[in-house]
Amino acid sequence: MTIQTVGIIGAGQMGNGIAHVFAASGHDVLLNDISEEALRAAVARIEKNTARQVAKGQLDEAARAAALSRIRATTELGELGGQDLVIEAATERETVKDRIFSGLAPSLAPHTILTSNTSSISITRLASRTDRPEKFMGFHFMNPVPLMQLVELIRGIATSDETYRTLAAVVAKLGKTAASAEDYPAFIVNRILIPMINEACYTLYEGVGNVASIDNAMKLGANHPMGPLELGDFIGLDTCLAIMNVLHDGLADTKYRPCPLLVKYVEAGWLGRKSGRGFYDYRGETPVPTR
């Protein structure tokens, strides 16, 4: 099956990045969100990011204009039903994702492939609540989508070989690299990455080091481009906590217990960059550690 039309549900950080790369690779994109303001902000972000690519010589102005012309926005979920491929990129809560797929079901075309950009939730479980588990897969992009080269492809127990091959071809057309992952909690990247961030939270919680020393230790001592606490802020501490809870619940191993300090920050609404405060305070000209 050839994919030309793509519906993307969720116009946040991930959704607008996914829309950007699909439009730039020649796909017709229909971007959906319940908020018109979020849709306007997403389109503005894509315009800004593609302008940056032109300035850097990564894209010419004609290609930019063509890509932007391929993006349409809608608040009506049912309009996505006729697309070749639908990518759910909403918040990392299973109840929200189930509600989206349920709302989409009456308008789906028989050929439409459903996917979720979930970073941790069971693909088999999500697929089982749809009318097409054989045409359902995990399609996990990395953030920021235009820059990151990896896409995790996660097959549910019922995913067909044809669906897998179709999405592998889509990843290749996007100019990215696919990594196949089994349907276990958090898949590959976040199974390794998020517990590291959680362990950095414990290191802070137990007073082994402060925010600056922990991040500098990993940047200079392990050659990481970002420290783990800085990275947690970039991802969103609520997302990190959600993934740790999926790991803890799904694998029943105490090593995945979320750090109480991480829980406290999320309860305070200190979610990282997107809320203005997390392990760093972003409200001034430069980020300042909060501990």
Mean pLDDT calculated for residue range 179-194:
96
The domain in which residue 264 lies consists of 191-289
pLDDT band at 191 (very low <50, low <70, confident <90, very high): very high
The residue-averaged pLDDT of 35-47 equals 96
Are both 54 and 124 inside the same structural domain? yes
- For the chain, what is the mean pLDDT? 96
Please report whether residue 111 resides in a domain: yes
Which residues are part of the catalytic machinery?
119, 140, 152, 190
Query: Does residue 113 lie within any of the structural domains?
Result: yes
Range 29-43 average pLDDT: 96
Co-location of 140 and 205 in the same domain = no
pLDDT digits 0-9 by tens, 46-62:
999 999 999 999 999 99
Domain with residue 129: its CATH number is 3.40.50.720
Q: Are residues 163 and 199 in the same domain?
A: no
Whether the predicted pLDDT of 76 surpasses 90: yes
Q: Are 167 and 203 members of one domain?
A: no
CB-facing half-sphere around the CA of 289: CA atoms within 13 A: 13
User: Once rounded to an integer, what is the mean pLDDT over residues 220-233?
Assistant: 97
Token pair listed for 216? 């500098």
Q: Tell whether 105 and 223 lie within a shared domain.
A: no
Query: What's the pLDDT score for residue 182?
Result: 94
User: Which of 158, 181, 204 is a domain's end point?
Assistant: 181
Does residue 173 lie in a domain region?
Answer: yes
Residues 196 and 176 in one domain: no
3-state DSSP call for residue 288? Answer: strand
Shared-domain flag, residues 101 and 205: no
pLDDT tier for residue 31 given thresholds of 50, 70 and 90: very high
In a domain, 212, yes or no: yes
- Is the pLDDT at 8 greater than 90, yes or no? yes
- Pick from 239, 190, 232: nearest CA to 215: 232
Which residues, listed in sequence order, are joined to residue 5 by a DSSP beta bridge?
Answer: 28
Number of domains in the chain: 2
Last residue of a domain, one of 137, 153, 181: 181
> For residue 268, what are the contacts with CB-CB under 8 A and spacing of at least 6?
none
CA distance 180 to 159: 13
pLDDT one-digit tens code per residue, 88-106 = 999 888 999 999 999 999 9
* Same domain flag for 48 and 166: yes
Q: Is residue 235 part of a domain?
A: yes
User: Please, which contacts does 34-41 make with residues 24 or more away whose CB atoms are closer than 8 Å?
Assistant: 34/75, 35/11, 35/75, 36/75, 38/11, 38/12, 39/11, 39/73, 39/74, 39/75, 40/73, 41/11, 41/16
Span 108-132, average pLDDT: 96
Per the listing, tokens 């939730």 go with 121
1 pLDDT exceeds 90? no
Whether the per-residue pLDDT at 42 is higher than 90: the answer is yes
Give the CATH number of the domain where residue 256 resides.
1.10.1040.10
pLDDT at 92: 87
Q: What's the confidence (pLDDT) of residue 4?
A: 97
Verify that 170 and 222 share a domain, yes or no: no
- pLDDT at residue number 276: 96
Does 122 share its domain with 247? no
Pair 122, 163 in one domain = yes
Distances (CA, A) of 207 to 129, 214, 217, 232, 291: 45, 10, 15, 18, 10
Task: Point out the domain boundary residue: 129, 152, 181.
Answer: 181
Is residue 186 situated within a structural domain? Answer: no
pTM, to two decimals: 0.90
CA atoms within 13 A on the CB side of 164: 14
Say if 242 falls within a structural domain: yes
Q: Is residue 22 part of a domain?
A: yes
